[in-house]
Chains A and B, each alone.
Chain A
Amino acid sequence: MSWISKTFTSSIGRKIIMALTGLFLCSFLVVHLIGNLQLFKHDQGAAFNVYSHFMGTNPIIRTIEWGLVLGFGFHIYEALMLTRRNKAARGAQGYVSNHSEQNSEWTSRNMGILGTIILIFLIVHLYNFFWRARFAGNLPKMGGADPLTSDYDNLYMAVVSSFHIWWYVLLYVAAQISLGYHLWHGFRSGFQTLGLNHRKYTPAIKYVGYTFAVVVSAAFAAMPLYFFLFTDAQGELATNAPALLHSVAAAF
């Protein structure tokens, strides 16, 4: 099937894989974000733990999980291949004076750096939560009266304790800023690469992309900041937290 491999190792083919995997990972971000919003629920993490248990055990999710692994894998692999190709294309002798900032956005030119920061974050993140929950088996259990959920992992407490470590919070916030910039370019770029371009819709896609980038990264960044700044070691709202947060919590 040489035409397939030729297609996807060509310059445009590799870009198409980048775009497809990138947009797929965007959809993952949406699911992940919605699930993680359970963290803000004032139930000592019950809903969050049920959700994470479901995600860790449901056979359909477990299958899709492999797709996610492939998605990340290809996205990273193609990024490396493209970077190598593009560096070679530019040649050994660079410009003495180059003012690319006058003709393009910084984000667009630095997707590799942004992606690398996200990758470092991802490794730490996966080790801390995913590895410990799935393979290490050393997380505390939920306990409690409900026999159905009492031996679920209490991932909530793992989150709360992690988010009280300053450097950990810093890493998370930095990673989310990178993610925001990565999406700022990546979202619309994905559509452009797939040729999904139309004079009527492309401007809309651009602004949806910008909104997506800001909302997703801000929402994820809000989680470590919330726990670090406003909760105690148990994840309960600290008494010195702003009144607004107390009233929101009371409403739920």
Chain B
Amino acid sequence: MAGSNPNAKPMNLTLNVWRQPNRQAQGKIVEYHVKDISPDMSFLEMLDVLNEDLLHAGQDPVAFDHDCREGICGSCDLFINGRSHGPEKGTTTCQLHMRKFSDGDTITIEPWRANAFPVNKDLSVDRSAFDRIIQAGGYVSVNTGGAPDGNEIPIPKEISDRAFEAATCIGCGACVAACKNASAMLFVSAKVSQLALLPQGNVERKTRVENMVAQMDKEGFGACTNIGSCAAECPVGISLENIAILNREFLAAKATSNNLA
């Protein structure tokens, strides 16, 4: 072991995992036991161990979404011990390491819960609602070709940095999962404020926020009541400030746009 903690003892854990064969079926919590888990493992590597055990025993492995395992693709999405992405702040499930747990722990693992995120199977949920919100306006309408030189649009570093901060959203859905209201406002606000801050987004500023909020409502997400769980659980630290910007943009757009519908 090259980890800094070569003396860390392997752990034995009890896992309470949500099992559900498909979208229509009833699900339930099933108890499993895993042995000899290294503290240097990531949480998903611990689940890999469980799945290898299950396969060898001829049982169906637990389905869960994951891909890059570097905390950037936004695929992984587990609700671990009552928290989105588990107990460590600013961390996706794939970057959560088992050294945050202790030998003998019982860990409850559930899928994201929201009406707009139906369960595909076990721990995998359908987050296509997020894509549809982006399709409603989360872009700048420029075709390929014909863009002006990149340096023709100077942008103050501070503004650019703030837009970047908002743009780092990985679309994992931890905000919705943590929110009592299953609200997607943090996700939507991150994209709205990124493009509202930048001059490139100015042209479609009003229609963008109107359409994205309408789609968000249509998908059945709840309304924000400023609880703040979303930002507290966001693995990349998207700030609540963005929701205030979204509210402001929405109000201004509704009050001044020429859209009568």
Contact = CB atoms under 8 A, between A and B. Distances in A.
Interface residues of B, number: 52
Contacts of B259: 3
Contacts of A95: 79, 82, 110, 113
B223 A86 contact: yes
A188 B229 CA distance: 16
B108 interface: yes
Interface string A153-178: 00000000000000000000000000
Of A82, A94, A104, most buried by chain B (CB within 10 Å of CB) is A104
Majority-rule SS of A interface residues: helix
B31 to A, nearest CB: 12
B117 to A, nearest CB: 8
Interface stretch (A140-148, A194-202, A222-230, A231-239): A194-202
Contacts, number: 152
B226 interface: yes
Contact of A90 (B79, B87, B115, B251): B115
B156 to A, nearest CB: 15
B182 interface: yes
B61 to A, nearest CB: 21
Contacts of A21: none
Contact of B251 (A100, A194, A202): A194
Interface stretch (A11-19, A23-31, A211-219): A11-19
A102 B227 CA distance: 12
A30 B85 CA distance: 43
A209 to B, nearest CB: 12
Interface in A1-47: 2-3, 6-7, 10-16
A96 to B, nearest CB: 6
B82 A100 contact: yes
A7 B223 contact: no
B83 A82 contact: no
A109 interface: yes
Nearest to B260: A3
Interface string A97-130: 1111011110011010000000000000000000
Interface string A73-105: 000000000100110111101111111101111
Contacts of B95: none
Given A3-B260, A99-B82, A99-B83, A90 B222 contact: yes
Contact of B225 (A99, A108, A196): A108
B223 A82 contact: yes
Contacts of A52: none
Contacts of B130: none
Of A94, A189, A199, most buried by chain B (CB within 10 Å of CB) is A189
18 contacts: A2-B260, A10-B217, A11-B183, A12-B223, A15-B225, A16-B251, A88-B115, A95-B79, A96-B16, A96-B108, A99-B83, A100-B180, A109-B180, A111-B225, A189-B225, A189-B226, A193-B226, A194-B247
Interface of A: 2-3, 6-7, 10-16, 82, 85-86, 88-91, 93-100, 102-105, 108-109, 111, 185, 188-189, 192-197, 199, 202
Given A90-B180, A189-B225, 7 more contacts: A2-B260, A3-B261, A11-B216, A16-B247, A89-B221, A95-B110, A195-B246
